Amino acid sequence: MTTVRIEPSMLRDPRHLLSLGFGAGLAPRAPGTAGTLVAIPFFLLLAQLPWYTYLAVVGAAFALGVYLCHYTSEALGVHDHSAIVWDELVGYWITMIAIPPSWPWIIGGFVLFRLFDIVKPWPVRLADKRMSGGFGIMFDDVLAGLYALACMHLILFLV
């Protein structure tokens, strides 16, 4: 865990507020898990949209995340500080593309995304180690989300 202390006053800046997952990233334990939990209510809203609008919002959230994560990372002087969790929100929303918004699926997507984000199978780990800046912070979670998305759709197909 990164040892740079984050002051709650950072949340007054809307860019930090978003990149820190509305404060979820300040959780003393498992901030990535807390950030993913914050993604769920937003997913419930996004799931009401047509699929193409959902994809556009997720794409915009990714692009915004590149900026936000870079901004907060620079302010902290640490690449991919554990409190930066916007990438977890976007990764979860990717996991849930075209998945029914019911609790078994929501929980399954949560578990699978966290699993792939923590374990970081190839090429997720490679992206995490070799890519920098806001794009690097975001991209490994995009890949973890795509792994989880593939699993979710396989399960959806089989049931």
Per-residue pLDDT of the chain (159 residues; tens, 9 = 90+): 446 778 888 899 999 999 999 999 999 999 999 999 999 999 999 999 999 999 999 999 999 999 999 999 999 998 889 999 999 999 999 999 999 999 999 999 999 999 999 999 898 888 888 888 999 999 999 999 999 999 999 999 999
Query: Which of 14, 16, 9 lies closest to 83, judged by CA?
Result: 16
Query: Which of 93, 58, 75, 55 lies closest to 134, judged by CA?
Result: 75
DSSP structure string for 3-49: -----GGGGGSHHHHHHTGGGGGG-SS-HHHHHHHHHHHHHHHHTTS
ω before 100 within 30° of 0 (cis)? no
To which residue do tokens 């969790």 refer?
A: 85
Burial class (CB in 10 A: 0-12, 13-18, 19+), 71: middle
Considering the entire predicted model, what is its pTM? 0.94
- CB atoms closer than 10 angstroms to residue 118: 12
- What is the C-alpha to C-alpha distance for residues 44 and 64, in angstroms, rounded to an integer? 20
Q: What pLDDT sits at residue 150?
A: 98
